Amino acid sequence: MRTDVLELDRRGETHVVDNEARRITEFIGVLTDVKHVAPIAPDVNMDDDLPVEYAKRRFLAFDFNNETTLFLDPSIIGSEGVDADETTLTFEPLVARSGKRSAHGVFFGRLQVGDSEIDVAVKPHTTNALKTGPDDYFKMAAVREEGFHTLTPIALLLADKDADVAYSMTLLEEGLTTLDSIDWLSFFPNITRNPGMQELWREVSGQVAILHSDGKKSHGDLAARNIAIHPDGAAFLIDWEYAYITGIPPRDAESRYNRSYSDLSTLLESMCLPPHANLGGVEGIGGKSGIGIFYGKEENWWEGFCDIFWDEYVHTRLQVASLGNHKGRALQEVKEELEELERSLQEDMRMMQDICASIPPLKYDSLTKN
Amino acid sequence: MTESHKSQSELGERRTNPRYNLAHEHIGSKDIVVRHPTGDPVRIVTYPAARGREALVREALISRGLILGQVLSGVDDDEQQFLVPTSARPIAYDARVDAPGAFSYNDEQLFFDLGGLMAALYQSSDEGSVIEGDVGHAVAFVEFTRPNERQLFFTPGVERITQPLPVGVSPINYYSDSLALTFGARFNLISINFAMGFSDALAEGF
């Protein structure tokens, strides 16, 4: 997790200290300690009941020898590894505006490995790192295997077992930003004034509906900060570290609901909470926040959620369920699941309205924005 | 599908997502992503060329590297074309970023640089040019740069949305109203950075 701290200055006032530079220095330190540079090719069998977990166990048992190792996609390193002494490893940080609300403390830079230079997003794992680092990397590989567009996993740096540090890296897509980088405070209720943004949400609804359609997957942290958009109009989900992926089909409507509800509940919360909410955090750090689409608005929030997301989600879920070999049973299960989802989400929305009512506006939010 | 849409998709062209789009409809500019069968997509902004005072403003800003992208067209061409970075986006829709640090391009830095850009525009013509209307779409931001590289630029075609500064108005007061319209009262929190950026750039001279 991100570890920003508060520091006291000489006058006794508290200041937020951004630890990004410190995180980058630590990363370069681990990179300097690398003993081996090895290829990584996740062997995920989607027919397994826990495809990622089994693939990860095989990887840790056979490919990692407990010495600090930089694993790289074979497209960069080839199929044979090299000793770190035989190659150049450097990292040059890049300046960004995106990703600064990442709970994980993601940072960006140019990784040089021998003659190859790759722009990467680096995600630190500092707790239970030998589990969470490979989890993140392998889950991305698994969802890509399933045909979903997401970031391209490119490298995994595992420090020796005692250090408990890992870094998962993805190719930095130059044009990519996340939904939390957009100022949504004036989007609702006049959503038709921004047809481009409406279209963007339709794309997101479709992606999430398809993710949930077979009842075997959930994203695990479907906040707005984990939804990415691209200049060519594509929207897709990122940060799959907490994803649930199984090869076993859902037993019934209830098991489908369990997968989809956790995602949609997180998304709804993220759409309601304002960027400054910081629920459970201290002095602006570590708490839960959102993009505040509905925050501070008097209009009907549930109707807004339906217009922006839910109606399209339902439409796509029903459309997908009506295809395939077992469409009769699947369609019935999905209808039951959607009914239950709607009840639960309406309840969540009422709760969010109460919570948001207790969050005072930032000074500038109280003034009218054109 | 209309004929124009059909021919666009056949060519692998697509209008850039509204979040990123740098086009100004009222001057007839367009922002498209072109997908080549072999290679990465490229992004091109086109607009009808400016003449007279606007053309002089354009040349002044280009000579200082303040207009985004690489010029593909000739000075006398009727249509101007710019190859722009994929990540470039207007600052109009960006949420507040207050994270401090050497690798964070936060609001303080953004509005300081914005002040500098507006000062450069002001100095680009004898009568003092200013943006007419929405500043949020006249300026674009580029992600993932090396430290000390420029991140804020005018969008291609900016000269077409400039005007001489109205008589009796100071440039900083002129922009304060305009920026408050685009960024809401959030601008009030950061207006000092804009003023500092403007003053510093004026002091440096054109």
Give the pLDDT confidence of A66-110 residue by residue, as tens digits.
Answer: 999 999 999 988 888 788 888 899 999 999 988 877 777 899 999
pLDDT one-digit tens code per residue, A322-339: 987 666 788 999 999 999
- At B159-190, the pLDDT tens digits run 999 999 999 999 999 998 889 888 877 888 88
Indicate yes or no: CB of B146 within 8 angstroms of CB of A175. no
Mean pLDDT of chain A: 88
Taking the alpha carbons at both ends of chain A, their separation in whole angstroms is 37
CA distance B159 to A233: 28
- Residues 44-83 (B) with a CB less than 8 A from some CB of A: none
Secondary structure of chain B: what % helix, strand, coil (to 5)?
40, 20, 40
**Tokens read off for A129:** 């790192």
d(CA A212, CA A184): 26
Closest to A115 in 3D by CA, of A93, A87, A92 = A87
Q: Which of A214, A296, A288, A278 is nearest to A247 (CA)?
A: A214
**Which residues in B lie closer than 8 A to residue A184 (C-beta atoms)?**
95
Write down the pLDDT at residue A95. 94
> Across the interface, do B100 and A16 touch by the CB < 8 Å criterion?
yes
Q: What is the CB-side half-sphere exposure of residue A128 using CA atoms within 13 A?
A: 6
Degrees to nearest 5, angle at CA A263 with A259 and A268: 145
3-class secondary structure, A67: coil
Asked if A94's CB is within 8 angstroms of B104's CB, the reply is no
Nearest C-alpha in A relative to B102: A21
Closest Cα in chain B to A121? B144
pLDDT tens track of chain B, all 206 residues?
A: 344 444 444 457 888 888 899 999 889 999 998 877 767 788 999 999 988 999 999 999 999 999 999 999 987 899 999 999 988 999 999 998 888 888 999 999 999 999 999 999 999 988 899 999 889 999 999 999 999 999 999 999 999 999 999 999 999 999 988 898 888 778 888 899 999 999 999 998 75
Residue A38: predicted pLDDT: 95
Rounded CA separation A187/A197 (Å): 8
Partner-chain contact A95 B149, CB within 8 Å: yes
Say yes or no for a CB contact (<8 Å) between A275 and B95. Answer: yes
B99 touches chain A (CB under 8 A): yes
Give the bridge partners for A68, in sequence order: none
Of A18, A96, A229, the CB nearest to B19: A229
**Chain A residues whose beta carbon lies within 8 Å of the beta carbon of residue B87:** 174-177, 231
Q: How is residue A163 written in tokens? A: 């250090």
What percent of chain A is predicted at pLDDT more than 90? 64
Mean pLDDT of A175-180: 88
Which tens digit of pLDDT belongs to each residue from A284-315?
556 788 999 999 999 999 999 999 999 999 99
Q: What is the pTM of this model?
A: 0.87
Kindly state whether B9 is in contact with chain A, defined as any CB-CB distance less than 8 angstroms. Answer: no
Helix (H) or strand (E) holding A228: strand A227-229
Indicate the pairing of strand A177-178 with strand B30-34. Answer: unpaired
Q: Higher model confidence: residue A262 or residue A2?
A: A262
State the pLDDT at residue A234: 83
Residue B100, chain A, CB below 8 Å: the answer is yes
- Give per-residue pLDDT as tens, A140-158: 999 998 899 999 999 999 9
- Residue in chain A closest to B134 (alpha carbons) equals A370
Of B86, B104, B145, the CB nearest to A175: B86
Chain A residues close to B105, C-beta within 8 Å = 95-97
The answer to whether B150 contacts chain A (CB < 8 Å) is no
Residue listed under structure tokens 């459309």: A319
Question: How far apart are alpha carbons A294 and A355 in whole angstroms?
Answer: 12
Could you tell me the pLDDT band of residue A5, with boundaries at 50, 70 and 90? very low
Are A143 and B55 within 8 A, CB to CB? no
Q: Do A232 and B144 touch (CB under 8 A)?
A: no
- Nearest C-alpha of chain B: how many angstroms from A51? 33
Q: Chain A within 8 Å of B137 (Cβ-Cβ)?
A: no
Nearest to A180 among B95, B101, B182 (CB): B95
- Peptide bond preceding A93: is omega within 30 degrees of 0, i.e. cis? no
pLDDT of residue B101: 84
**Mean pLDDT of all residues in A19-31:** 92
pLDDT confidence tier of residue A176, bands split at 50, 70 and 90: confident
Long-range pairs of A41-44 with CB within 8 A, sequence gap ≥ 24: A41/A73, A41/A74, A42/A137, A42/A138, A42/A141, A42/A142, A42/A153, A44/A138, A44/A141, A44/A142, A44/A145
Residues of chain B positioned with their CB less than 8 A from the CB of A181: 94-95, 97
Which ipTM was obtained for this model? Answer: 0.86
Q: Taking a C-beta distance cutoff of 8 angstroms, is the pair A223, A258 a contact?
A: no
Whole-number pLDDT of residue A14: 60
Q: How confident is the model over B61-77, as pLDDT tens digits? A: 999 999 999 999 987 89
Identify the band that residue A7 occupies on the pLDDT scale cut at 50, 70 and 90.
Answer: low
Structure tokens at A64: 């990692």
Q: What pLDDT is stored for residue A13 in this prediction?
A: 64
Least confident of A48-52, A181-185, A245-249, A322-326: A322-326
Q: How far is A18 from chain B (nearest CA, A)?
A: 6
Give A254-317 as a DSSP string. Answer: HHHHHHHHHHHHHHHHHHHS-TT--BT-BTTBSSB----SSTT--S-HHHHHIIIIIHHHHHHH
Q: Does A200 sit within 8 Å of B17, measured CB to CB?
A: yes
Interface residue B194 vs chain A (CB under 8 A): no
Residue A168's CB is within 10 A of a number of other CB atoms, namely 32
B166: left (phi over 0), alpha (psi -120 to 50) or beta: beta
- The Cα A139–Cα A242 span in angstroms is 9
Which of B178, B181, B175, B169 shows the shortest CA–CA distance to B194?
A: B175
Size of interface A-B (CB pairs under 8 A): 145
Q: How far is A340 from chain B (nearest CA, A)?
A: 34
Cα distances (Å, whole numbers) of residue A193 to A296, A306, A322, B180 = 19, 17, 33, 20
User: How is residue B107 written in tokens?
Assistant: 């609001």
